Amino acid sequence: MLHFINLIDSYNSRDPAAKSRLETFFTSPGLHAIGFYKISNFLWSIKLSFLARIISYLGRLLTGIEIHPAAKIGKFLFIDHGMGIVIGETAEIGKNVTLYHGVTLGGVSPSENSESQKDKKRHPTICDNVIIGSGAQILGPVTIGENVKVGSNSVVTKDVEMNKSVVGNPARYTVSGDKSNIEFMAYGMSGEDDSRTARVRKLEHDNELLKERLSKLEERLRD
């Protein structure tokens, strides 16, 4: 019971729209999806795979979030909005991970040579404190290191080092942080470590250099 209350509190601390525990309990699809997952995962662990898949399917119908019963999920997974999220069979998720809607933790070309892919690791491993933006695709048995931020609609098919930010298709590094923020920042915004503010700072720096060069050229022309 205490763990469940802590889970609700972790949602409220990371969701700017959350008003109360009661509201979160009744209206959070991410929380409901995790509840269905825990039941289906238990059934899967005792070899009732058919029943586990039925419970997982019901969870998908009611929440729009698909989590395979065999996936491994750590404490305090936060799913915000959640519609369209897919978490594959061999996916592994650490603690305090945040997923926004439309995220896929999937395989690479599962329809090709599917027999050879059975009973093999084919989905991502997401380490602790990772934030994955809406629409991002993490594909294949890659590892996303601790404290990583994945930008919206990015496509990641290679390992990402810890404390990095990646964006784009294919995903590329933007900035890295020397340490993880203790306080959760909604939507991946984190002040000095945020890739968007880093890009603005670089543009400002380049503009200053350009102004300096123009001033020198004007002085030379006057001379």
The CATH number covering residue 153 comes to 2.160.10.10
- The total number of residues shown for the chain amounts to 223
Q: Are residues 75 and 145 in the same domain?
A: yes
Work out the mean pLDDT of the chain and round it to a whole number. 85
Count of the separate structural domains present in the chain: 2
Q: Are residues 202 and 164 in the same domain?
A: no
146 secondary structure, DSSP code: T
Q: Are residues 84 and 182 in the same domain?
A: yes
130 secondary structure, DSSP code: -
pLDDT tier, 220 (very low <50, low <70, confident <90, very high otherwise) = confident
Contact yes or no for 98/85 (Cβ under 8 A)? no
- CA–chain centroid gap for 27, Å, is 21
Q: What pLDDT is attached to residue 29?
A: 93
Q: Are residues 65 and 153 in the same domain?
A: yes
Two structure tokens written together for 152? 């919206």
Q: Are residues 104 and 180 in the same domain?
A: yes
Where in the sequence is the domain holding 118, given as residue range(s)? Answer: 2-189
Q: Are residues 35 and 55 in the same domain?
A: yes
Regarding pTM above 0.85, the answer is no
Q: Are residues 181 and 213 in the same domain?
A: no
Q: Are residues 63 and 172 in the same domain?
A: yes
Rounded-to-integer distance, Cα 222 and Cα 202, Å: 31
**Distance set, CA 154 to CA 11, 102, 126, 136, 204 (Å):** 24, 11, 15, 5, 26
Q: Are residues 158 and 202 in the same domain?
A: no
